[in-house]
Structure 1
């Protein structure tokens, strides 16, 4: 069980690190340029989606969705809380400085990017037939169609 918590916290920290890098790039590279800040933010959401797609692709091969789904959701929750509450403080801003509407829209955008990446990664895995369930069904089909060993009497 301890191993699962380490993976969950590690994934959450990696997602948060992507946000921190994006915030630092905006702060030091494009301070005041809204168009560039929006592009960096879009890039951050794409990277988060790709990371979660890769995680879903990797975890979906070994375990059923019922096992890794809650872990991925927990990691997304940890990363979201850190991103929304701690991330702005790292660059000297208030999390609620732009108002509550902006804060909640950021939460929605983060969840959409994370959910889309996870779902697309798992759909790709399922399309290729390499997910946990497809592999078990394939093994069952192979064993069910083979003829049983013929017993030879002497």
Structure 2
């Protein structure tokens, strides 16, 4: 159980670190330039999606979807809370300074990007037939094919 929470914490920390790096780049490099800030934010969402796609691809090979799905979901929710509530404080902003619209837009965009990353990772894994369930079915078929058919006498 301890290793499971450690994995969740590391993934949440990595997702939050990506957001912190993007916020620092925007604050130091592009202060006042909205177009550049939007591009850095878009890049951040792409990186978040790629990280989650890679994690899902790796975890989906070894564990059932319910198991890794709970871990990834918990990590995303923890990272989301840190990103929305703590992230702005690190660069000197107020989390609610932009109003309710901006606050909830951040939440929806974050969930959209992370959901897309998880979906892409799982779809690629399933399309290649490397997911946990496909591997179980493959082993079952091999075992059934290896046994000779039993002859029944009447």
Q: 2:126 is paired with a residue of what secondary structure?
A: helix
Deviations 1:54-99 (A, max 9, x none): 0000000000001110110000001000000000000000001110
Normalization by structure 1: what TM-score?
A: 0.95
Q: 1:19 is paired with a residue of what secondary structure?
A: helix
Q: 2:93 is paired with a residue of what secondary structure?
A: coil
The question of 1:86 aligning with 2:86 is answered yes
RMSD: 1.2
2:137 is aligned to 137
C-alpha distance in structure 1 between counterparts of 2:106 and 2:149, whole Å: 62
How many Å apart are 1:143 and its aligned residue? 1.0
1:46 is aligned to 46
Displaced runs of 4 or more, over 6 A: none
Deviations 1:18-50 (A, max 9, x none): 000000000000000000000000000000000
1:120 is aligned to 120
C-alpha distance in structure 2 between counterparts of 1:50 and 1:61, whole Å: 17
C-alpha distance in structure 2 between counterparts of 1:147 and 1:7, whole Å: 40
C-alpha distance in structure 2 between counterparts of 1:147 and 1:75, whole Å: 44
How many Å apart are 1:6 and its aligned residue? 0.4
C-alpha distance in structure 1 between counterparts of 2:66 and 2:87, whole Å: 31
How many Å apart are 1:149 and its aligned residue? 9.1
